[in-house]
Amino acid sequence: MKVSSIQLYRYELELVHPFQTHAGTVKKREGILVEVMDMEGRSGWGEGVAFSTPFYTGETVETSWTMLQEHFLPLLSANPVRHPSDIKDILSVFQQNQMAKASLDMAYWDLYAKQQQLPLASLIGGKREAIEVGVVLGLQDDISLLQQYKHEGYQRFKLKVEKGKERERIHQAMEYVPVHQLMFDGNGAYGEEELEHLQGLDDLGLMMIEQPFPAGDFYLHARLQSKMETPICLDESITSYHDVRQAIALNSCRIINVKIGRVGGISEAMLIYKLCASHRIPVWCGGMLETGVSRAHNIALASLDHFTIPGDISASKRYWHQDVITPEVEMRQGKVTVPTESGIGHNVNKQYLQQRSTDIYSYII
């Protein structure tokens, strides 16, 4: 792969509605978009999905920006990339910083697919023409919105909840959607002292409970899963293929949420996907309040056969007054169409992106 330059855009977009979790409220989304350009003028796009503060992982927009500029781009310049999977190996000399790594990995995969004149989905083995999608309700959202979302065709409903009030919110939700399509996200907010409390929610018959304990605590998740019929799903705990091996070996979960940004890119996500498929662990694709660039990559990943649970891939208009891509991602009757154009199948509106960027950095390879 011959690359001529890489451009970083530090953007800021206002959400249509503020999004609230136990850790706080997000009103504006700051992030990083990466453009990798080749000699023929083609561009591949990736996204760094870290948040402004380290409430989800230790990585932030600021740390990602620094790592990209000062470490990752110079290293890529010194080590030729022949295939997108090389990014993972080249950057492995640096610890962590998965979201910054993923932004480059994604951009190279998009560019490579365009160079091969193939849709990214088919390039990585995706078979589906459309994928079923789910939706997330933040703490600020009225539970009655579920009626609208069910009418629109969403297939899975994730709730943000307050500790101690989960049953109340879930019972309210059951007035609008069936319980087997419901789950709640713990966001790592629970501790060992709440094992019995969580076990007491088993009778609800939920689709799953996502990441009740802090990231990296495979032990507590294994203890809880051994006492519950409800599947435990790991999210923040999964940052690599190795994490998945541990989770499977310890029986810490029965479902895994795969986020491209959280695991370091498509290359690592594919390894995780194959491992889960071989162990018959269902997977689904999570979301990060990202722009259409990352959303398009998620669609490609979720087109793989073993992604059997509807992902967090809502329509662009659910989050943004204007997305940075054209055409924007649309949802019809609970499904999103997998693009057939080369690469991620969407163009980036660079004029709009530049308007929304607080900083732009160019690097010649």
* Catalytic residue list contains 317: no
Q: Is 160 among the residues known to form the active site?
A: yes
3-118+347-364, what's its fold?
A: Enolase-like; domain 1 (3.30.390)
CA distances from 8 to 246, 325, 333, 360 (A): 35, 16, 36, 6
Catalytic residue among 28, 259, 317, 335: 259
- Could you tell me how far CA 236 lies from the centroid of its own chain? 11
- Candidate list 160, 163, 227, 317, residue with the active-site label: 160
> Which residues of the chain form CATH 3.30.390.10?
3-118+347-364
Per-residue confidence (pLDDT) for residue 27, from 0 to 100: 83
- pTM here? 0.95
pLDDT of residue 292: 97
In this predicted structure, what is the pLDDT of residue 26? Answer: 79
Tell me where in the chain the CATH 3.20.20.120 domain(s) lie: 122-337
Give, for all 365 residues of the chain, the pLDDT tens digit: 889 999 999 999 999 988 766 666 778 999 999 999 999 999 999 999 999 999 889 999 999 999 999 999 999 999 989 999 999 999 999 999 999 999 999 999 999 999 999 999 999 999 999 999 999 998 888 999 999 999 999 999 999 999 999 999 999 999 999 999 999 999 999 999 999 999 999 999 999 999 999 999 999 999 999 999 999 999 999 999 999 999 999 999 999 999 999 999 999 999 999 999 999 999 999 999 999 999 999 999 999 999 999 999 988 998 999 999 999 999 999 999 999 999 999 999 999 999 999 999 999 98
Question: Is the domain covering 122-337 a CATH 3.20.20.120 domain?
Answer: yes
The per-residue pLDDT for 17 is: 84
